[in-house]
Amino acid sequence: MKNIFSILMFLMSAQVLAVIETYEFETQAQEQLYTEIIHELRCPKCQNQTIAESNAGLSEDLRFIVYQKVMDGESKRSILRYMQERYGDFVLYDPPVKPANYFLWFAPLIVFVIILVIVLAKVGRRKVTPEE
C-alpha cells in the first residue's frame, strides 16, 4: 500500500515537472547551446533570475525564441546580440566592458586597491615609528 502511494506520488511529481516546456532537439550540441544560452540571459521582468529559472510569461517567450534560433542554426553570439538589442545590457549576465558599465567592472578592484593602500600605509608606518 505504501509502495503504491509512493509510486503515485512519483508519477504526480513527474507530471508537475512536465509543465516546463520540453523542446525537441536534433543534436546534443543544439540542446547544450540552448541550455547554455538560457542560463546566461537575465529575465527582464524579474530582478535576479535567468530565463531558465524564471516562470514569468516573458521568460517563457524568450526561451522559445532562443529555441527557435538555436534550431535555425544561429550562433550564440547572434542570439545574445538579438536579446541585447531589445533589452539592453541588462539581459546579459556577462555585460560588455564599456563606459556605462565601468563601475560594475572595476569597483571591486578599486575598493581592493584602496584597502591595500590603507593596509600598506599602516604597516609601513608601524615599521618606521615602532615606538608609537
Q: How far apart are CA 80 and CA 37, in angstroms?
A: 8
Please identify which residue in 44, 51, 54, 63 interacts with other proteins, judged by CB under 8 A: 44
Q: How far apart are CA 130 and CA 132, in angstroms?
A: 5
Per the document, the length of the chain is: 132
Q: Is 52 in the site for other proteins (CB under 8 A)?
A: no
Enumerate residues 61-100 that contact other proteins by CB under 8 A. 61-62, 65, 84-88, 90
Task: Using the minimum distance from each CB to other proteins, give the nearer residue, 28 or 57.
Answer: 57
Task: Using the minimum distance from each CB to other proteins, give the nearer residue, 9 or 100.
Answer: 100
Q: How far apart are CA 68 and CA 58, in angstroms?
A: 15
Please identify which residue in 1, 3, 47, 98 interacts with other proteins, judged by CB under 8 A: 47
Rg (CA), the chain: 24
CB of 3 to other proteins, least distance (A): 44
